Amino acid sequence: MADSGGGGGCGRCCCSFILTSGLTALFMWLSLRTSNPVCSIQDIYVPALNKSANSTDATNIYFNLKLDNENKDKGIYYDALNLTFFYAPNKSLPIGNRTFRQFYQGHKKNTRRTGWVETRGVPWEAILNGSAASFRVDLATAVRFKIMAWKTKKHKLVVGADVDVNDHGQKVYKKGIRLRSGAPERGCYRARVGTLVTLIIAVYHLVFLN
């Protein structure tokens, strides 16, 4: 009987160690995991498409780009931001581009980059015959995250979105348009975390509550 009790105590001690190690690993993972910045086009204005202003000779495009760092305690180092614009029917041929130099963004901060892009090769006369037009905006850069006193390795960030413009030369949708990546979302990671938490809770109930 004494041996049986000792074995049970040893087994419970081992399970307790596994549970503690699992919780520690989970909390460390949660504290070190990072989220990419949220990039969005807040505004676009195309004077050449503004029929009421009769400014068809103005072929530049104005843009307002917003970058949100939603990480609670992690800053972001951006490499140069490369914005490329396309006329949507032909997304293989860029009509203009703009580059911004590298910078650092603190946690829970947002940054704006605005300006004009000089366009080329846009069939403005054909576009003006319609009531709306669509442009593609792509953003390419590389980011590193600052976690306390150290920095992560660089990883590429390539996102984009289509932006519809009306016959006033303005963005159709009033809200910002998020630039998204073609890569899958991180939902699989959330599912794994949920599975791990469920497993830890099950072990806790099995060891300590039975």
Q: Would you say residue 3 lies in a domain?
A: no
Q: For the chain, how many structural domains are there in total?
A: 1
User: Contact, 63 vs 115, CB < 8 A?
Assistant: yes
pLDDT at 128: 79
CATH of the domain at 148: 2.60.40.1470
Q: Would you say residue 210 lies in a domain?
A: no
Q: What is the pTM of this model?
A: 0.75
Domain ranges, residue 130: 37-180
Residue 10: CA count within 13 A, CB half-sphere: 6
User: Contact, 60 vs 49, CB < 8 A?
Assistant: no
The alpha carbon of residue 179 and the mean position of all alpha carbons in its chain are separated, in whole angstroms, by: 7
Q: Would you say residue 136 lies in a domain?
A: yes
pLDDT at 124: 86
Q: Would you say residue 22 lies in a domain?
A: no
Q: Would you say residue 106 lies in a domain?
A: yes
Q: Would you say residue 141 lies in a domain?
A: yes
pLDDT at 110: 98
Q: Would you say residue 191 lies in a domain?
A: no
Dist CA 108 CA 119 (whole Å): 34
pLDDT at 10: 72
User: Contact, 164 vs 133, CB < 8 A?
Assistant: yes
Residues of the chain with pLDDT under 50: 1, 185-189
Q: Would you say residue 113 lies in a domain?
A: yes
